[in-house]
Amino acid sequence: MGSNPHGTAELAGFKYRFVPAVQNSSRTLLLLHGTGGNENDLLDLGRSIAPDAALISPRGKVLERGMPRFFRRLADGVFDEADLLQRTAELAEFIELACRTHDRDPQSLIAVGFSNGANIACAMFFKHPNSLAGAILMRAMVPFQSQTPPPLNRKPALMLSAENDPIVAIEETERLAELLAGADADVTLQWSHTGHNLSQPDIVAATRWLEALV
């Protein structure tokens, strides 16, 4: 276990980065990278959208052709749901230990996930909703095809999706939004005219959404 704020540490089997909050901010962002990313990928994004927040950024433990991911998939767009279930439980354990290690309030923890990271953040809503106070889901898909989330009690979720995404179909996005809203999440779905990549409109939307949270 480590808590070095300037480099990669390890906790609960996850390599991760921790960046302390500024001016005693109570907000913490859990940064979850996409396929092929690592614990450094979203640090600049996190600091940009929430300048004062603490940042917890783990590296996915699964390797796909040498590229880190948070869970396995059977094919493009087809998740290994048994592995996803296991990895989601592991991430929930990591979150609990990381918050305790760095003295962060889990009730103020917002996940910020991109692609594979957004998908495991969605899976947290389905299986371990008490681990997150809310989530920014960038290019997310439905994590479990035959399951619905438990009551989410107005947890806020910002879905940042793209009309020209070659990976995530519009229908998939709309289905996920309906599932989360049907579980009583406070869902905001915002579209951009881009593809699967992150864009400046995503950063602007995430910043405004976080600023508006109580």
Tell me the DSSP string of 141-155. --S-TT------TT-
115 part of the active site: yes
Tens of pLDDT, residue by residue over 20-32, are: 999 889 999 999 9
pLDDT at 6: 58
What is the residue whose two structure tokens read 């899976």? 123
What is the residue whose two structure tokens read 């918050």? 99
Tens of pLDDT, residue by residue over 96-147, are: 999 999 999 999 999 999 999 999 999 999 999 999 999 999 999 999 999 9
* Sign of the C-alpha dihedral computed for residues 75, 78, 79 and 80 taken in this order: negative
Assigned token pair, 164: 């020209």
Asked whether the predicted pLDDT for residue 176 surpasses 80, the reply is yes
Asked whether the predicted pLDDT for residue 4 surpasses 60, the reply is no
Q: Are 56 and 31 in contact (CB under 8 A)?
A: yes
- Spell out the CATH class of 8-212: alpha beta
Tens of pLDDT, residue by residue over 31-61, are: 999 999 999 999 999 999 999 999 999 999 9
76 part of the active site: no
Alpha helices in 70-185 (DSSP H): 81-101, 116-127, 170-182
Nearest-angstrom CA–CA distance, 41 and 53: 17
pLDDT at 23: 87
pLDDT at 193: 93
Length of the chain equals: 214
Running DSSP on this structure, what letter comes out for residue 12? T
pLDDT at 5: 47
Indicate which residue of 115, 131, 161, 192 is catalytic.
115
Indicate which residue of 102, 165, 192, 202 is catalytic.
165
Domain ranges of the chain: 8-212
pLDDT at 7: 86
3 part of the active site: no
Q: What is the mean pLDDT of the chain?
A: 95
Indicate which residue of 25, 83, 128, 196 is catalytic.
196
Tens of pLDDT, residue by residue over 149-163, are: 999 999 999 999 999
pLDDT at 192: 94
Nearest-angstrom CA–CA distance, 68 and 171: 27
This prediction has a pTM of 0.95
Binned at pLDDT 50, 70 and 90, residue 77 comes out as: confident
Q: Which residues of 128-144 are buried (b: 16+ CB within 10 A; e: fewer)?
A: bbebbbbbbbbbbbbbb
Asked whether the predicted pLDDT for residue 188 surpasses 60, the reply is yes
